[in-house]
Structure 1
Amino acid sequence: MKISVEAIQPEKQTKHCLVIGVYSNQALTGSAKAIDKQCGGYLTKLLKNGAFDAKAGETLPLYHLANGEFEHLLLVGCGEADKITPMVFRKIVTGAIKGLVSSKTAKAICYLSEVTVGKETLAFNVRQITETAFEAIYRFEQFKSKKSDSIALKELIIHLSDESEKAACKKALNEGLAIAAGVAYTKDLGNMPSNICTPTYLAKEAEALAKAYPSIKVNVLEEKDMQKLGMGALLGVSQGSDEPAKLICLEYQGGNKKTAPIALIGKGVTFDTGGNSIKPADSMVGMKYDMCGAASVLGTMKALAELKLAINVVGVIPAVENMPGGKAYKPEDILTSMSGKTIEVISTDAEGRLALCDAMTYAERYKPASVITIATLTGAVVIGLGFHATGLLSNHEPLAKSLLKAGLASNDRAWQLPLWEEYQEQIKSPFADMANTGGRTAGTITAGCFLSRFAENYHWAHLDVAGTAAMMMGTNERKATGRPVPMLVQYLIDHAT
Structure 2
Amino acid sequence: MEFSIKSGSPEKQRSACVVVGVFEPRKLTLTGEVLDNAARNHLSDIIRRGDMEGKAGSTLLLHNVPGTLCDRVLLVGLGKEKEFGDKEFADAIRVAVRTLNETGSFDGTVFLTDTAVRRRSTAWRVRQAVIVAHEAVYRFDQFKSKKDKVRRPLRKLTFVVDRRNELAAAEAALIQGQAIGEGLNLAKDLANLPANVCTPSHLAEAAQKLAVEHKLDCQIIDRDEMNALGMHSLLAVASGSRQPAKLIVLQYKGGKGDDKPLALIGKGITFDTGGISLKPAAEMDEMKYDMCGAASVLGTMKAVAALKLPLNLTVIVPAAENMPGGGATRPGDIVTSMSGQTIEILNTDAEGRLILCDALTYAARFDPDIVVDVATLTGACVIALGHVATGLFANNDTLARELLHAGDEAHDRAWQMPLWSDYQELLKSPFADMSNVGGRSAGSVTAACFLARFARKYVWAHLDIAGTAWKSGNEKGATGRPVSLLVHYLLKRAGRLH
TM range, smaller chain: over 0.9
- 1:147-186 C-alpha deviation (Å, 9 max, x unpaired): 1214521111111211121221111101000000000000
Paired residues in the alignment total: 494
Name the counterpart of 1:392.
392
Amino acid at match of 1:177: Q
2:13 touches 2:69 (CA, 8 Å); kept in 1? Answer: no
Question: Residues 491 and 23 of structure 1: is their aligned pair in 2 closer, same or farther, counting only changes over 3 Å?
Answer: same
The alignment status of 1:458 with 2:458, answered yes or no, reads yes
Task: Tell me, in whole angstroms, the C-alpha distance in 1 between the residues paired with 2:69 and 2:262.
Answer: 55
SS at match of 2:294: helix
Name the counterpart of 2:165.
164
1:62 touches 1:72 (CA, 8 Å); kept in 2? Answer: yes
What are the equivalent positions in structure 2 for 1:292-371 lying under 5 Å apart? 292-371=292-371
Name the counterpart of 1:492.
490
SS at match of 1:65: coil
Amino acid at match of 1:147: K
Name the counterpart of 2:176.
175
Name the counterpart of 2:480.
482
Name the counterpart of 1:126.
126
1:30 touches 1:114 (CA, 8 Å); kept in 2? Answer: no
1:81 touches 1:116 (CA, 8 Å); kept in 2? Answer: no
1:273 touches 1:322 (CA, 8 Å); kept in 2? Answer: yes
Name the counterpart of 1:272.
272
- 1:242-271 C-alpha deviation (Å, 9 max, x unpaired): 000000000010000100001000000000
2:62 touches 2:73 (CA, 8 Å); kept in 1? Answer: yes
Amino acid at match of 2:24: S
Amino acid at match of 1:184: N
Task: Tell me, in whole angstroms, the C-alpha distance in 1 between the residues paired with 2:476 and 2:62.
Answer: 34
Task: Tell me, in whole angstroms, the C-alpha distance in 1 between the residues paired with 2:70 and 2:127.
Answer: 28
The CA deviation at 1:412 is 0.6
Name the counterpart of 1:104.
104
- 1:402-451 C-alpha deviation (Å, 9 max, x unpaired): 00010011111000001011111111111110010011111100000000
What are the equivalent positions in structure 2 for 1:418-433 lying under 5 Å apart? 418-433=418-433
Question: Residues 175 and 70 of structure 1: is their aligned pair in 2 closer, same or farther, counting only changes over 3 Å?
Answer: closer
- 1:55-79 C-alpha deviation (Å, 9 max, x unpaired): 1221110001127854210111111
SS at match of 2:353: helix
What are the equivalent positions in structure 2 for 1:149-298 lying under 5 Å apart? 149-150=149-150, 152-214=153-215, 216-298=216-298
The CA deviation at 1:14 is 4.9
Task: Tell me, in whole angstroms, the C-alpha distance in 2 between the residues paired with 1:394 and 1:21.
Answer: 41
Task: Tell me, in whole angstroms, the C-alpha distance in 2 between the residues paired with 1:69 and 1:490.
Answer: 38
2:26 touches 2:52 (CA, 8 Å); kept in 1? Answer: no
1:370 touches 1:458 (CA, 8 Å); kept in 2? Answer: yes
SS at match of 1:334: strand
1:197 touches 1:270 (CA, 8 Å); kept in 2? Answer: yes
Task: Tell me, in whole angstroms, the C-alpha distance in 2 between the residues paired with 1:14 and 1:134.
Answer: 23
The CA deviation at 1:29 is 1.2
SS at match of 2:282: helix
Amino acid at match of 1:478: K
1:233 touches 1:354 (CA, 8 Å); kept in 2? Answer: yes
1:386 touches 1:467 (CA, 8 Å); kept in 2? Answer: yes
Task: Tell me, in whole angstroms, the C-alpha distance in 1 between the residues paired with 2:295 and 2:79.
Answer: 35
Amino acid at match of 1:288: K
Question: Residues 297 and 445 of structure 1: is their aligned pair in 2 closer, same or farther, counting only changes over 3 Å?
Answer: same
Name the counterpart of 1:41.
41
Identity %: 49
Task: Tell me, in whole angstroms, the C-alpha distance in 1 between the residues paired with 2:392 and 2:15.
Answer: 49
2:12 touches 2:68 (CA, 8 Å); kept in 1? Answer: no
2:237 touches 2:329 (CA, 8 Å); kept in 1? Answer: yes
- 1:13-35 C-alpha deviation (Å, 9 max, x unpaired): 25531011111122211221111
Task: Tell me, in whole angstroms, the C-alpha distance in 1 between the residues paired with 2:313 and 2:427.
Answer: 32
Of 198-207 and 14-23, deviating more is: 14-23
Task: Tell me, in whole angstroms, the C-alpha distance in 2 between the residues paired with 1:312 and 1:68.
Answer: 50
2:219 touches 2:248 (CA, 8 Å); kept in 1? Answer: yes
Name the counterpart of 2:8.
8
What are the equivalent positions in structure 2 for 1:90-101 lying under 5 Å apart? 90-101=90-101
Task: Tell me, in whole angstroms, the C-alpha distance in 2 between the residues paired with 1:124 and 1:99.
Answer: 23
The CA deviation at 1:81 is 0.9
Task: Tell me, in whole angstroms, the C-alpha distance in 1 between the residues paired with 2:311 and 2:214.
Answer: 15
Task: Tell me, in whole angstroms, the C-alpha distance in 1 between the residues paired with 2:381 and 2:85.
Answer: 24
Task: Tell me, in whole angstroms, the C-alpha distance in 1 between the residues paired with 2:15 and 2:451.
Answer: 58
TM-score (norm 2): 0.98
- 1:38-90 C-alpha deviation (Å, 9 max, x unpaired): 12212112212211122122111000112785421011111111101211111
2:223 touches 2:244 (CA, 8 Å); kept in 1? Answer: yes
- 1:188-213 C-alpha deviation (Å, 9 max, x unpaired): 00000000000000000000001111
Task: Tell me, in whole angstroms, the C-alpha distance in 2 between the residues paired with 1:479 and 1:378.
Answer: 19
- 1:194-240 C-alpha deviation (Å, 9 max, x unpaired): 000000000000000011111x1100000000000000100000000
2:22 touches 2:78 (CA, 8 Å); kept in 1? Answer: yes
